Amino acid sequence: MAEKEQDIHIAICKYIKLKYPNTIFTSESSGIRVGWYQAKMLKEMRSSAGLPDIMIFEPRKSYYGLFLEVKREDFAVYKKDGGIVSNSHIQEQEEMLYRLKQRGYLASFVRGFDDAKVLIDYYLG
């Protein structure tokens, strides 16, 4: 059975805390299961849907920060031709990543812990 996205997400956060302890970052809460009232409040407190899972607020290289949309290693985000899969949620996330890139951030899907680790080490290392 494939590792849960939530477990990968937590492992990435632990890695950042361990290897880059002074890094300022946070996680988006939309993937957390909460009651309907809390879910409604959380939705009202964010700008829009599609925000990336992990947001690192450290300027590096020529970027203002690093934003990661975490997926399982076996999750297909792109088709073989390079286009985005036909999934409205993934397309919404891709649009947000594009908007962030337009504003000077490094923003990307990462598939699994190892993929995230490579990008984080490139960015923060």
pLDDT tens digits, 49-94? 788 999 999 999 999 999 999 999 999 898 889 888 888 889 999 9
pLDDT tens digits, 21-46? 999 999 986 666 778 777 777 677 66
What does residue 68 show for φ and ψ, rounded to 5 degrees? -120, 130
What CA–CA distance (Å, rounded) separates 125 from 31? 28
Q: Which CATH architecture has domain 5-124?
A: 3-Layer(aba) Sandwich (3.40)
Q: Which SS3 state, helix, strand or coil, does residue 15 take? A: helix
* Cβ pair 29, 64 in contact under 8 A: no
